[in-house]
A and B are shown apart, each in its own frame.
Chain A
Amino acid sequence: MTIDTNAHLGHWPFRRHGFEDIGRFLDKLRAVKVDEAWVDSFEGVFHKDVAGANARLASECRDRGAGMLVPFGTVNPRLPDWADDLRRCREVHRMPGIRLYPNYHGYTLDDPDFARLLKLSAEAKLLVQLAVKMEDERTHHALMKVAMVELAPLAKLVAAIPGLKLQILNCPVSPTGEALVPLARSGNVSFDIAMQESVGMVARLADRIGVDRVLFGTHFPLFHAESSILKLKEAELKPDQEKAIRSGNARALLPK
């Protein structure tokens, strides 16, 4: 059983990734033996009508997801009436979580609205996924350079919100993983492996922050889904550790 906690549907504006068609998207997941994928829509990153993007995402997953796709709506606290988007994700679309893009949506993690969003998400028992980056900033389009999210304010914030479940996506770290330790210990905080680099990094990360905090994620289709699959092969993981990363930790966050 493998659960991909970090996948996306739709068109990326800066290049063709080849899996814009949901049929091809699902075929690739099946080919790499991913059984379930938590997906958002690229529209949520770029569109102002986030409510429309979330509604399309929900129906796409329900009608064409072959039972494999779990929708994560986007909430942008810079938009008017964002709290109703959060409510709709939970009450209308029955989504188990939301995805946040602070750098693409133009706020920092010391913003009071962000703190309120985390608090409301915890009260609604929604898993919050926060993407640190989407692409290597060295390769950004000349007219759209987006700095990585600065995570420094987060540990203190997480510690002050009981019941918050938070996953950090696309977080590149130093080979020692040192900087993630305080955040990992601040509450129920997990990290995916899509942007974890250096040889054997997944095992090193698990040693550093605890294997229960590491989730399988691919960042597919911007990245090849094979990358994270092969990272598990490269890492020196014990069978129970690999099982936890592939699916056990994700299932603990979102029980069926």
Chain B
Amino acid sequence: MNNFMKLQFAAVSNNESFARVAVAAFVAQLDPTVEELTDIKTVVSEAVTNAIIHGYEGNPEGVVTVSASIINHTLHLNIEDSGLGIADVEEARQPLYTSKPEMERSGMGFTIMENFMDEITVHSGVGLGTRIQMIKQISNDLTQMN
């Protein structure tokens, strides 16, 4: 079964829960485990929060795009913004690194994304925005099927 969805929304913090619940509802058709679903909700929350805080620096006119594809029981997730971009992606991906310590950011967003998903690729350019692509295979336990 292959399937696709795409969402666009304003870069406001109210939409963080909307984005993760929407993606979780889309992924539900693969019968993921509770743990897999929580992993996916968490990484959506991390990437969307990054877009809002860092990409657009809180500018509500920014637009965040979330798209997800299901290809053979594998979830392909894209989260993009057209904001400021990241000058040094390697530095940003270091555990505990944050460019905004004064906002009490923990610097764990990318580490969580790397741990909860099978693959992550970050494309970013200063002034161009950031696109995070993540892949996760969803377990396909036939004994769970009716």
Note whether A and B form a binding pair.
no
